[in-house]
Amino acid sequence: MGDNLTFHYMISGDDFTRAGEASSDLKNKLKMIGADNNVIRRTAIAMYEGEINMVIHAGGGEITVDISQDNIRIVLADKGPGIADVEKAMQKGYSTAPEEVRALGFGAGMGLPNMEKYTDCMQIDSELGVGTTVTMDIHM
Amino acid sequence: MTVQTLIESGLFKAEVPGSTSRSISKVFCCDLLSIAMGKAPENGAWVTVMGNKNTLAVASLADISCIVLAEGIRFQDEELECARKEQIAVFSTELPVFDAGLKIQELLS
């Protein structure tokens, strides 16, 4: 494959029904380059959770996807409020999502745990009042 | 078993046939999209009462074979159009979630 492929997505923070469009687009691209089905599925799920988080908590953000021969790196960067307690946020069932989001079936406190579950490596860098950057790697 | 098998069974109303040759390997019942996202099996038939646009996004991204909306829940026209575009099979039924899931399980076994 040679050079890395890089894709950028701007995530709008005001339309919950559009969350998932970037993940769908990436999924189609991975299909086109012939990535393994399981890798595609894990990538799509992890990125969708990230997208949803950006819409719910951060008013949107930017996603950069870097695909090399043996790895997919997804960097989700937002300028949201930041995560006060990352360890707590990683606990299954812990959620700070508002009621209207829960009414749609989200906000069960599974987003970050799902992202960790479906990726080979995940790192969260967050500063209160500045924003959050989540970096995920999925090995091919 | 395939989506076509489920259509021909007449158990549920086929709202969108989707990709009819797609196989169905398991049944999965869940209304919380966050949990469905993490747990729904690939090629699963997903029985739920959560009928919004995000349900379709989860089904598409998690490689679910078909959505079965239980308890008389229906998608709006906009969602049905989106399901057609994404080739996601959608069924609906008046049955409760468990009963609908059980019917599919009986077909599977």
Mean pLDDT in residue range A17-34? 93
Question: Measured between CB atoms, which of B37, B50, B54 is closest to A17?
Answer: B54
Per-residue model confidence (pLDDT) at position A26: 96
All structural domains of chain B, each given as residue ranges with its CATH number in brackets, are: 3-108 (3.40.1390.20)
| Unique residue bearing structure tokens 């679910």 | B64
Q: Please give the order of strands across the beta sheet that includes A5-12.
A: A5-12, A60-67, A71-78, A131-139, A121-127
Split at pLDDT 50, 70, 90, the class of A24 is very high
CATH number for the domain formed by residue range(s) A5-139: 3.30.565.10
Tell me how close the Cα of B30 comes to any Cα of chain A, in angstroms. Answer: 10
Whether A49 has a pLDDT exceeding 90, the answer reads yes
Q: What is the pLDDT of residues B72-104, one digit of tens each?
A: 999 999 999 999 999 999 999 999 999 999 999
The residue type of A137 is D
pLDDT for res A17 = 81
Using an 8 Å CB-CB cutoff, list chain B residues near A23: 57, 61
pLDDT above 90 as % of chain A: 85
pLDDT of the residue at A32: 94
Q: A20, B62: Cβ pair inside 8 Å?
A: no
Q: What is the pTM of this model?
A: 0.90
In sequence order, the β-bridge partners of residue A138 are A72
Interface confidence, given as ipTM, is 0.83
B4 to B9, B72, B89: CA distances (angstroms): 9, 22, 10
Q: Closest approach of chain B CAs to the CA of A44, in angstroms?
A: 6
Residues from chain A contacting residue B34 (CB–CB below 8 Å): 105-111, 114
Per-domain residue ranges of chain A? 5-139
Q: A134: alpha, beta or left, given left = phi > 0 and alpha = psi -120 to 50?
A: beta
At A63-120, the pLDDT tens digits run 999 999 999 999 999 999 999 999 999 999 999 999 988 988 898 899 999 999 999 9
- Strand boundaries in chain B, DSSP class E: 13-16, 26-29, 44-48, 66-69, 89-92
Interface of A with B in 10-29 (CB under 8 A): 16-17, 19-20, 23-24, 27
Cβ <8 Å between A20 and B32:
no
Tell me which chain A residues have a C-beta less than 8 angstroms from the C-beta of B62.
41, 44-45
